[in-house]
Structure 1
Amino acid sequence: MATDVEVGLKQRRKAAVLGVAGAAFAAAALAAVSAAHGAVGPITGTSPLAPPLGACLGPQCPGTWPPPHNGDFGGRDAAINIYAGTDFSATGRAAEAEGKIVVLGDFTVDKSGGGIFNAGVVGVGSRVPPPDGSDFVTVGGNVTVQPTDRLEVGGTDANGPAYGNLVYGGTATGTINVVPPGQAIQRPGAADQYSDLRGYIEDRSACAATAPATGTVSVSPSAVTFTGDGTSMLQVFDVPGDIGGASTVGIEFDNIPSGATVLVNMTGTAPVINTYTGTGLAGDQTTELRPHLMWNFPNATSATIRGGAQFQGSILGGNPAGTLSIQTPGQNGRVYVAGGLVLTNSNAGSEIHAYPFDGVLPECGSAPTSSSSSSSSEPTVSTSDTGTTSAPTTAPTSSAPTSSSSSTTTGPSSGSAMPTTPSGTQPSFSTSPSGRGLAATGSSLAPALGLAAAALSVGAGVLAFTSRKKGKHA
């Protein structure tokens, strides 16, 4: 049977040939990832993240991704840029979150001193929003915007608006402005079609953590240096504690082959990255690595990324009971966490910018079970003679007002029924845990960073993977 990634890539190629609209293709790609994921076993190879995660998705993807800027839109990306398996909170001076956002729990805007929080489209970022008319922000629970704040969904450039929907399953309170013709839509089960991605993220994070280190990590008073082996196309580094911690340090990479994926496994239960590295501009080392750079937090109950620069690379957080706090001025890359996400900064606006992850990660086979079943058939996109899919290509309608671009919502509104995927069923991911470990070979940072205590807590983090439950909270 073909793997989920193989099926997803086949869907991507088919969509490119047929010219499928980005929003419809995103739905088809999500259905394709319904291939079963059993208990995580030994590493069997490497693969990209399956759509709708990872690489840019749809026929409007840009050929190049410039550094954060405030110019015209450079294309459209139907892939998910931000995924939170529980709640997402924008606090402090959080300013913007770009790209397609999926939150299984509640989405809260509670800024210090009040102000606007932009979602989907940002003033300065990659300027590659989701496809027009698609769901820019999907929330399974409640959307709460504090009285002094305003949530802005969508935006404009010199050529006109980039517009999409805010879809939520519970209630919406506070001032919410959705750029028309996008709408705020109350839809029971709004995030159900994405719920099993939580287990997929957990599995890929756990599998990545078992990859043997291929390089070494060294520490100086001002920098942490990751030195690769110069040949492997998957460069793996293990960090059992902090990078910087209480002090702000630089991050340097050396001896990394061109085009290689760099995987940094932050294996502690409360890791901190505190860095001044990351200008976001061409020529900056971490910026050049960004499309193939993944920071993995498989065990963290609390993980923190802070510092005064644009943090480069995508983030994977596998603990459904954990929370990631991003406190940098900018985060350039995908953010996928099985638990909660907090975007905050007390000194400057904190932003998440939409940039794809084009690298590969370890892929693990399923551990043997006493009974299992599988199907040899592969999901396919249903097409007609005209080359269009059966997935809906227009935005869902609702009773939400469209005559004004601004709406203040104080409770749920009636909306249309939730559309199904092209196959007519909601996608399903098997997320059975077991067979997970934290094999670590190569150099350890414990002697240099005084992290022996953190290393002892890894086992407790692994045990958290054996009690996963689907839903809003673990």
Structure 2
Amino acid sequence: MRISTSAAALAVGGSFVLAGLVAPAAQAADPGQECRSLGVANLYGEFIEGDDHHVPDAEGAVAVGGDAYFGGGFSVGQELTAAEVDALPGKNALVVAGAINGANTQVMKGNGVYGSKADGAVIQAHAGTIAQGASPIDFKAEFAKLRAASTSLAAVPQTAGATVQADGTKLTFTGGDAKYNSFTVDAAKLQGAKDVFLKVPAGSVTVVNVTGGLYDMAAAGTTGFNIWDASKESFVLDDKLQSAAGGAIRAKLLWNFPTATKVVKNSAAAWAGTVLAPNAAFDLGSGGPVNGSVIAASLTGKGGAETHHYPFTGCLPGTVVPTPTGTPTSTPTVPVTPSSSTSPSGTPSVPATGKPSASASTSGSPSPSASTAAPVVSASPSASANGGGNLAHTGSGPVVPLAIGGAVIAAAGGAMVVASRRRAAKKA
């Protein structure tokens, strides 16, 4: 049967559509690995369900579901990039659902929105607008998902071969998996350490699950978080001016407190990584920053306590995949069964982009009946998606089959073109 050049080109075009589906939307995911972040919370350096009262600054964006008091001259968003501002809901680098108070709050990049303003409060934007209005974030919905995600992450067993070793007041976390390292440690054991050491491969995602209701870093006077730098063959004390592997390890480090109701940072320490404590009152102390984001029920701090803009960039397994608006209610639910293997590759891989997926039909053209349903991955009955914002899913599911299918179509299309040209040449 004679195949026209246009038909061959259409087959090749179908392969490019598949290739587009394979390409991750944001963070790079390994083939076959679900890539999920912490949703809207991932966009903010401080993502607080209730009240946020502290000084002096937040280098990233700030979202507060309750009231905010920023004293002593408070700047927001100085380190945000233009792309990061664009990704924020309404480009709002500052969201305060309740009342804002403070004599001098400066939004350095992006917009700001607040529910009400206390008498005498001053809030200004340097590169955007400030407005009174409704919050663009549904904090109740977001924190329901964050709590489910925190519980799901804590259910992942400690990575095979990973160790948590105490040596006097020194506590060392060691994991060798190149993709994902999960640790579990009791809060009492962690807060007994004056120095914390972490040794994992650069590029791997690291989740430290801390059990217990209270973690007080000031109890033993923790002063340092030291991360292994393979190129230097030594541990590097993390701070704003230096970090192991150029900050690559810190960027994928998450401290997960699924059951803590209070978390206290020692004022002398710079805490490396993002803190997920959705049920906790978080105390920044009076000095020393968090070199990452803080996601908590409430936040307080004084003196020189700051949050530095080093957002979490890791791919997380087994957290919530939202059901986009308008998708069928009969969307299937796939349970997450954590594996004790040394990588999260055991996480079920299901497409959850919420976008129409073009599949190649027998004619080589995209099928108009491609489903838009997005399966929900649930770690527990409470982990189902709900209204409001969404926990982000930034990777496709069955990447390997799609990649193979795309390659087959591309090869077939190319063969058709070559055959057509040879027949035309013989006739000429």
Place the TM-score, normalised by the shorter chain, in its bin: 0.5 to 0.7
* TM-score of the pair, normalised by structure 1: 0.54
Equivalent of 1:48, from 36, 47, 56?
A: 36
Instruction: Give the letter aligned to residue 257 of structure 1.
Output: P
Q: Indicate yes or no: 2:261 matched with 1:301.
A: yes
Instruction: Give the letter aligned to residue 333 of structure 1.
Output: G
Q: CA deviation at 1:244?
A: 5.6
Q: CA deviation at 1:241?
A: 1.7
1:269 aligned partner: 213
2:294 aligned partner: 335
1-structure distance, mates of 2:295, 2:21: 21
2-structure distance, mates of 1:248, 1:219: 8
Aligned pairs for 1:47-86 (under 5 A) are 47-49=35-37, 51-54=39-42, 79-86=43-50
Q: Does structure 2 retain, via aligned residues, the 8 Å contact 1:217–1:227?
A: yes
Q: 1:394-449 deviations in whole A, cap 9, x for unaligned? A: xxxxxxxxxxxxxxxxxxxxxxxxxxxxxxxxxxxx9999558xxxxxxxxxxxxx
* TM-score of the pair, normalised by structure 2: 0.60
2-structure distance, mates of 1:174, 1:8: 53
2-structure distance, mates of 1:46, 1:263: 16
What count of residue pairs does the alignment treat as equivalent? Answer: 300
1:204 aligned partner: 149
Tell me, what secondary structure is at the counterpart of 1:262?
Answer: strand
Instruction: Give the letter aligned to residue 170 of structure 2.
Output: A
Q: Indicate yes or no: 2:258 matched with 1:324.
A: no
**Residues 118 and 469 from structure 1, CA distance in 2 versus in 1: closer, same or farther, beyond 3 angstroms?**
same
2:107 aligned partner: 153
Q: CA deviation at 1:51?
A: 4.6
Q: Does structure 2 retain, via aligned residues, the 8 Å contact 1:102–1:191?
A: no
Q: CA deviation at 1:377?
A: 9.4
Q: Does structure 1 retain, via aligned residues, the 8 Å contact 2:178–2:203?
A: no
Q: CA deviation at 1:97?
A: 0.8
Q: CA deviation at 1:379?
A: 4.1
Tell me, what secondary structure is at the counterpart of 1:213?
Answer: coil
Aligned pairs for 1:111-150 (under 5 A) are 111=71, 115-121=72-78, 126=79, 128=81, 130-131=84-85, 134-145=91-102, 149-150=103-104
Q: Indicate yes or no: 2:131 matched with 1:185.
A: yes
Equivalent of 1:362, from 317, 330, 334?
A: 317
Q: Does structure 1 retain, via aligned residues, the 8 Å contact 2:243–2:250?
A: no
1-structure distance, mates of 2:21, 2:188: 38
Q: 1:189-242 deviations in whole A, cap 9, x for unaligned? A: 2244555222221121111110101222122233111122x2352111111223
**Residues 286 and 252 from structure 1, CA distance in 2 versus in 1: closer, same or farther, beyond 3 angstroms?**
farther
Q: 1:143-182 deviations in whole A, cap 9, x for unaligned? A: 122xxx422221xxxxxxxx43220123344332413453
Tell me, what secondary structure is at the counterpart of 1:169?
Answer: strand
Aligned pairs for 1:52-451 (under 5 A) are 52-54=40-42, 79-90=43-54, 94-109=55-70, 111=71, 115-121=72-78, 126=79, 128=81, 130-131=84-85, 134-145=91-102, 149-154=103-108, 163-180=109-126, 182-187=128-133, 189-193=134-138, 195-214=140-159, 215-228=162-175, 230-231=176-177, 233-242=179-188, 245=191, 249-254=194-199, 256-274=200-218, 275-277=222-224, 278-282=238-242, 284=244, 287-319=247-279, 322-327=280-285, 328-337=287-296, 339-342=297-300, 344-345=301-302, 348-364=303-319, 373-374=330-331, 379-380=354-355, 434=380
Give the ranges of 4+ consecutive aligned residues of structure 1 lying more than 6 Å apart after TM superposition: 6-9, 430-433, 468-471
1-structure distance, mates of 2:309, 2:315: 18
**Residues 8 and 267 from structure 1, CA distance in 2 versus in 1: closer, same or farther, beyond 3 angstroms?**
farther
Identity value in percent: 25
Q: Does structure 2 retain, via aligned residues, the 8 Å contact 1:203–1:318?
A: no
Q: Based on CA coordinates, which of the two structures has the bigger radius of gyration? A: 2
Instruction: Give the letter aligned to residue 48 of structure 1.
Output: R
Q: Does structure 2 retain, via aligned residues, the 8 Å contact 1:281–1:287?
A: no
Tell me, what secondary structure is at the counterpart of 2:57?
Answer: strand
Q: Does structure 2 retain, via aligned residues, the 8 Å contact 1:7–1:379?
A: no
Q: CA RMSD in A?
A: 4.0
1-structure distance, mates of 2:246, 2:208: 13
Tell me, what secondary structure is at the counterpart of 1:212?
Answer: coil
Unaligned 5+ runs, structure 2: 1-19, 225-237, 322-328, 333-350, 357-375, 390-428
**Residues 281 and 204 from structure 1, CA distance in 2 versus in 1: closer, same or farther, beyond 3 angstroms?**
same
**Residues 299 and 286 from structure 1, CA distance in 2 versus in 1: closer, same or farther, beyond 3 angstroms?**
farther
Tell me, what secondary structure is at the counterpart of 1:266?
Answer: strand
2:4 aligned partner: none
Instruction: Give the letter aligned to residue 136 of structure 1.
Output: A
**Residues 184 and 261 from structure 1, CA distance in 2 versus in 1: closer, same or farther, beyond 3 angstroms?**
same
Q: 1:256-289 deviations in whole A, cap 9, x for unaligned? A: 2331111101111111235222333335489552
Q: Does structure 1 retain, via aligned residues, the 8 Å contact 2:114–2:132?
A: yes
**Residues 142 and 50 from structure 1, CA distance in 2 versus in 1: closer, same or farther, beyond 3 angstroms?**
same
Q: Which has the higher helix share?
A: 2
**Residues 280 and 7 from structure 1, CA distance in 2 versus in 1: closer, same or farther, beyond 3 angstroms?**
farther
**Residues 262 and 180 from structure 1, CA distance in 2 versus in 1: closer, same or farther, beyond 3 angstroms?**
closer
2-structure distance, mates of 1:318, 1:298: 7
Q: Does structure 1 retain, via aligned residues, the 8 Å contact 2:252–2:314?
A: yes
